[in-house]
Structure 1
Amino acid sequence: MGTSRVVIVGGGVMGCAVAASLRQAAPEREVVVVERDATYRQASSALSASSIRRQFSQPVNMAIGAYGYAFLKDAARHLAVDGEMPDIGLRDGGYLFLAPEAAAPAMREVHELQRAQGAEVALLDPAELQVRFPWLSTEGIALASLGLSGEGWFDGYGLLQAFRKRAIADGARFVAGEAAGFERSGARVLAVRLADGTRIEAQEIVVAAGPWSGKVGAMLDIDIPVRARRRSVFVLDTPDPLEPCPLLIDPSGFWLRPEGRFYLSGMSPLAGEDDPDDLPLEVAHDSFEEKLWPALAGRVPSLERLKVASSWAGYYEMNTVDQNGLVGTWPGLDNLFLATGFSGHGIQQAPAVGRGLAELMLTGAYRSLNLSDLSPRRLAEGRPLVERAVI
């Protein structure tokens, strides 16, 4: 074995972004990506609603959003292979968060943080909302936060494939297989063992296994607090277009955004609601009828007449401790790095995390963007970094 091999467990967008960044910065570094689902049928990257924003509650996530949006705007150049420039279909549409009276003070507080980070966001009262979005009911709403630039949506599967092609073009090797175990010696991981018996030695290991990262951690006798949480996405057809329509976040837990002539929508459990691990990837049609549609029609009356054109289900890689990404070395294992736990935001955070983690691995420090707040060490030290703006 060469002494510079990195094995990345997980070949979704995060693993591909790390691989591409490593190979671009250090062509001498051998990079092997292990991915069990070569079709990406269950990959969160392929099943994401693929949006990007700066309206988070933690400054590190605001900065990641700014970096990611700038990257996506120039993705054709960043990810071009042999003159072929990918089109990821970035649309600048903004996010619109709605808040009832009880949540308005927190929205104002976070707004100041976002402005301090350079985000272009505006606070709107109900009268201003009605002027901008006449199709919207403001009942029960005291305040709203609207992103004016640097937020939108894109082709997430296209981004995944573009990163993968870029990584392969730069020399990363992809192996179709499932990690079944590891070999350890003290504070180091020596090798990955695959289900087919293949043994891959490595100087460094990266866990980028998305919602299955907790199960990968169990093979190493460590508790990575990342679990698979199912989310259903519905493609809606309505005879009444909503113009203009940002990505809408309602206090009831639903989100809604345009997708061509259709709209995508879904609903996350509110705090305290049941959200089991590892549910089968089956669309929650009952939840749509009982919760999502009534909430949609209550906020957007014209959606009473919607039809469901199609639907799918995917997993969030939910960090159950603080709903924030885990990026960096795992305490007690000097050569084990994590890039996981992004709690539904991995597709938009992959450009920044891929580059940042590559810099940390190659130089021992972050250069482009400081991601140290996301270090897994915060878990062992009892310093959760709670991200409140999880959709």
Structure 2
Amino acid sequence: MSGLATPRLPADRPLRLVQVGAGGMGRNWLRTIAASEAAELVGVVDLNLDTARAALADLTAGGADDVVLGTSVAEVAARAGADAVVNVTVPAAHRVVNEEALFAGLPVLCEKPAAPTVAEALRQAAAARAAGQLLMISQSRRYFAALDALVGQVGQLGEIGAVDCGFFKAPHFGGFREEMDHVLLVDMAVHHFDAARRVIGADPVSVYCEEHNPGWSWYRGAANAQAVFEFDGGARLTYSGSWCAPGLETSWNGQWRISAERGTALWDGDNAPTVHVPGAGEGVAGAGSTAAGAGEPRQAEVVPREQEIAGALAEFIDCLRTGRSPETEAAENLRSLAMVEAAVASAESGERVRIDDVLIASLREALAAEDRPEVRAHVEGLVTLPVG
């Protein structure tokens, strides 16, 4: 639980939102907010107001005169009477935007990753605690109905031994991604690492990772990565991914196999997962399974829900109305980002890296950079330093 004191918002009207950032991903969010009956767009913030106007014009086929525009989050939110903020800026701008909103008394739903570094993410999580407001990170690939079904089925298989996730795509993005260092790990793998935390139901302990860049790659940085994570309880996640793998591509969610005490679950990343409990009678794989005969593989029932960023928005709204803490509250999301930073450190050093070592180093960096006493006090409470 986050321990936040965010007041519950009324359920008898839509949540009034200010969106910050109106670029490519920002337009996706604008469409998602417009499609939600539980949300209302009341303001847009962008350093380039022409970009904001163009995005609104495309959204409404004629503009939106009642949507407040500006370059200051707090000012636009005050003028628009906003309840909350959606932050769709680039990661380097997340902290400045989030902290302005949080200390203006506004909860924030922020696009992943929370920050370029774990240290920056720690400062933001601490600022949210200091402000008494919710900061939720939109790990949008947690929000799939088929993933819900997979988690439900795996929970009935007993102790998890091994989880395998393969991700193979060949996107030609152009632009900054093709010039990034550690492009697969930094820009994409966080989705799969975060999903693994949800599937396994435990926190990561350590990682050994290798990267390389095939000769045909159109990326400057390493487009391929293989990593082995240890989790609390002993489970291992084996991750193998590539962003320059043409032909027979996987889902964006990856392709999964979970081997557990009583059976195995498979998920192709898109469709209903399949579970096999050898020798089990009908019902052992859980309610909602389609019986195919005792001990035979069964397909799990998938219950429809809001998915991807629409799912993240729906959870954010529900949390603000009920007072519950989301799965991806900023402090809880730290270990997903730490998995990325640890994997990069392992790939660079050639050594196994402990997740706690990354968190402790990040804590020290955050404390050195943070000069507000009220925020520093909460930084210190987010990670436990070793004794001695």
Determine which structure has the larger strand proportion and give its number.
Answer: 1
- Which structure dedicates a bigger proportion of its chain to helix? 2
TM-score (norm 2): 0.25
Structure with greater contact order relative to length (CA < 8 Å, sep ≥ 6): 1
